[in-house]
Amino acid sequence: MVDAIVFSSVTKTVLTADGPKSLIKDVNLNFEAGGIYGIIGLGGAGKTTLLKLVDHTLTPTSGTISVLGQDLGALDDRGLAAVQAQISKVGVFPDFDPDRTILESVAIAAGEDPEAHEPDEKARAKAFRLLREVSLRSQKDTYPAQLSGGELQRAAVAKAFASDPRIVLLDEATAAQDHLESLDILRLVQQFAHESNATVLLATHEISAVKEICDHIVVLDRGLVVEEGVTHAVLADPQAAQTRIFTQSASSLGKVQTLLDGHDPVVDLRPGQKLISLRYVHEDVSEPLVSLVTRKFGIDVNIMLADVQIVGKYPIGGIVAVFEGPERNIRDAIAFLRSKKVRVEVLAEN
Ligand SMILES: Nc1ncnc2c1ncn2[C@@H]1O[C@H](COP(=O)(O)OP(=O)(O)OP(=O)(O)O)[C@@H](O)[C@H]1O
């Protein structure tokens, strides 16, 4: 795979009233061409900084950044402009000329000359096609102020892809939309990216957005990359504390800890019972493992919470269940489950 973007030991430091502050620290990342990457982190983690370094809106304090095979630090203005012309951006709020119709704005982006005042017929035809794809055909001649936030963001996605960019940077592009609108926008990004083989970087604090369309995930925490990898693998078995905060916040399985902390009667265990969490970290969960251990080891398994989601094509998640039976049988059942690459944790026992 060819890399569209490579960060090598990149640090960005700014001077603040409290002294120097590193927004991004010694970041090494390779973004493959055609990949859809979720850059996730809490507010202030450095997501926007990372995106701004890609299109050279910010320059690194140290390290090198290569975009589309070019070392940004070594380019002259012309070379830089040529790289930047192949990058599109979508922010939280869509950026449209209020005095132009949606069709005109998208057509200008689709035209050969981005400075052109009037788009030509070919560009208009392309803009029309894109607006039809984002379900804005009937609103093509309206002005930005006449569209809802979600509609305008769909138009912004059409505009971003109109210039056939090699790289698309989305900074919290769905943060101002409701869940269904976000889904629509994300799926359009995925569709256009796959059709054009563009590389997409989606900066977000919403793990649901990453699960929806990103094949890779990069987790940032206070300027550091704390975890990265293929989305379903990272989310199935997160290693960094920051990643676990995101996965737990999105899963109902985390509720069990609240129940345990609050000594909720639901988690009162009788003698011989164990409260166990099972997490699927393997791609194949096709075997009916719960019914298998019940039969094979002669124990009862009573499921309390279950949360299995499909990420990409892979099921991730798990269950929390009460295991009941002879101590030895439960121990053997746990060993069996672990041999099947299920992550088993005894949360409480009596
Ligand atoms: N020019 C600057 N001078 C000083 N501090 C800055 C500057 N730009 C950003 N920061 C700080 O650097 C940190 C990283 O900012 P950045 O915008 O990259 O984070 P983020 O992950 O995108 O956050 P958010 O999700 O809130 O947008 C933040 O603490 C921010 O306040």
pLDDT per residue as tens digits for the range 140-152: 999 999 999 999 9
> By alpha-carbon position, which residue is closest to atom 13 of ligand 1?
44
Confidence of residue 106 (pLDDT cuts 50, 70, 90): very high
Among 30-34, 134-138, 338-342, name the one with the lowest average pLDDT.
338-342
Which ligand 1 atom minimizes the distance to the CA of 51? 18
**Sequence-distant (≥ 6) Cβ neighbours of residue 91 within 8 angstroms:** 171, 172, 173
Q: What is the mean pLDDT of residues 91-104?
A: 92
Are residue 120 and residue 269 in the same domain, yes or no? no
Q: Report the alpha-carbon distance of residue 153 to residue 181 in Å, rounded.
A: 9
- Shared domain for 94 and 194, answered yes or no, is yes
Do both 222 and 283 map to the same domain?
no
pLDDT higher than threshold 90 for residue 220: yes
Does the Cβ of 21 fall within 6 Å of ligand 1? yes
Domain coverage including residue 62: 3-240
Count of the separate structural domains present in the chain? 2
**Phi then psi for 125, rounded to 5 degrees?**
-65, -40
Neighbours of 312 (CB within 10 A): 16
Question: Ligand 1 in contact with 41 (CB < 6 A)?
Answer: yes
φ, ψ dihedrals at 342, nearest 5°: -90, 135
CB 319, CB 306: distance < 8 Å = yes
Query: 52 CB under 6 A from ligand 1?
Result: no
Which of 180, 211, 240 marks a domain boundary? 240
343 lines ligand 1 (CB under 6 A): no
Residue 341: what pLDDT? 82
Same domain, 154 and 42: yes
ipTM of the prediction: 0.94
Instruction: CATH number of the domain at 224, please.
Output: 3.40.50.300
Alpha-carbon dihedral 325, 326, 329, 334, rounded to 10 degrees = 60
Does residue 159 sit in the same domain as residue 101? yes
pLDDT digits over 181-199, tens only? 999 999 999 999 999 999 9
- Is the pLDDT at 5 greater than 90, yes or no? yes
Does residue 29 form part of some domain?
yes
CATH number of the domain bearing residue 325: 3.30.70.260
Dist CA 119 CA 136 (whole Å): 19
pLDDT of residue 285: 55
Q: Are 74 and 218 part of one and the same domain?
A: yes
**Nearest CA to 299 among 336, 267, 254?**
336
As a whole number of angstroms, the distance between CA 139 and CA 44 comes to 37
Select the highest-mean-pLDDT range: 203-217, 245-259, 263-277, 278-292.
203-217
At 98, is the secondary structure helix, strand, or coil?
coil
| Ligand 1 atom nearest 223 alpha carbon | 14
What is the whole-number distance in angstroms between the Cα of residue 222 and the centre of ligand 1?
Answer: 9
* HSE-CB of 19 using CA atoms within 13 angstroms: 0
Q: Looking at the structure, do residues 166 and 213 belong to the same domain, yes or no? A: yes
- Mean pLDDT lowest among 22-31, 86-95, 111-120, 121-130: 111-120
**Same domain (yes/no): 40, 103:** yes
Residue 114's pLDDT band (cuts 50, 70, 90): low
**Domain assignment of residue 247, yes or no:** no
Q: Residue 197 Cα, ligand 1 centroid: separation in angstroms?
A: 30
